[in-house]
Chain A
Amino acid sequence: MAETVITQGCSAVVIGGSAGSLDVLLEIFPKLDKNLPFPIIIVIHRKPGGESLLTDLLQNRTQLNVMEAEEKQPIKAGYVYIAPADYHLLIEENQSFSLDYSEKINYSRPSIDVTFQSAADVYKDSLYCILLSGSNADGLDGMRTVKRFKGKLVIQNPDTAIMPFMPQQVKSNLKADYILNAWEMASFINNLCKV
């Protein structure tokens, strides 16, 4: 599964993760190219408060611009956007963000399902969704929608994930297009090219 595959065009990468996923992001970020031709959108479960902590942590490891997603903000290639704590992050048809403070999904806000589903609706088959380590049910329904729109499903290898439950669910219930170890993800993302 680890071989480098020439992939189809990519208009956005959305990464979802829960417990144990921060380590993976810290592994990926220093190795990312600085001129990626698509945006990266990150939804990580975390507690409200310490707002800019995750943003700073990632910004210190990459030359890409990392910022917390703001409502109505246009989504631009080469930028990394992080879902703010305690809001769901949605993507509009015109490729801008909306925030939503509705019910938690899978005990989570932001919910990975919400962003995956909304991204699938907009980016359709040129979307790559990556689901990392976690012990929550979040992400599976989102991945199902991504598959329906023919986007690509990428999961962290459950055998090497700190918390295998989340990616394992996708592996067992849907067919993932790529199963990658943490150390393979940066080069995978760097090799995705623009539509």
Chain B
Amino acid sequence: MDGRNCLVDNDWFCWEYVTSRSRELADATVQHVWITAVSVLIGLAVSVPLALLARRGRRWAAPVLGLTTLLYTIPSLAMFSLLLPFFGLSAALVVTGLVLYSLTILVRNVMAGLAAVPEDVREAARGMGYGPGRLLWQVELPLALPALLAGVRIATVSTVALTTVGSIVGKGGLGNLIAPAVNSSFKAQVLTASVLCVLLALVADLLLLGVQRLLTPWTRAGRARKAATSDVPVPVPAEGA
């Protein structure tokens, strides 16, 4: 405090803003994290059965893939608005929209993971007397984990970014701080909330990378080359943003 106040001067960087509004920032971050986490978890829970349905043949695959791709085409602001009559101004509205978006990425990756399970492994498990349920839980899903977790990483990062649009119904985590700050031209608040958003996405991505390594240690041998290719997005229609 050298006689100059960055809040009064409306500077881009303002540590005093961060300290004086730490409570508000923490609350928004917590909301952001739980909306993202709940959305991705529900998305995952929905996409596994959808992927199982889709692999039963073209008759199911075409509508499942077609519908999830179609959902991705709809701009997020329109998606949230279309859900308004059903959910009102609630976090459920934002979560539902985010779940629908996450399906595009997750269903494709779960399907890719399941398709990558070698047929002779399935044969061997069946020969050992594994029923369809046990085969899925103990053989197929564990082997599908690398692709599945790669999908979870992509879905999480894009969900963190998309959550901000939820501020249109007042449930946008850090987006809730950005919206009013634009109207009042409050630079420090816009920048701090934006930076926190990107940091959140990076931290989530790194944490999931750690989870991925812990859960699938067998993929590490060929990781150097794999990582380069698996990070290239399966040409999914771009972020629905």
Q: Verify that A and B bind, or say they do not.
A: no
List residues of B whose CB falls within 8 A of some A CB. none
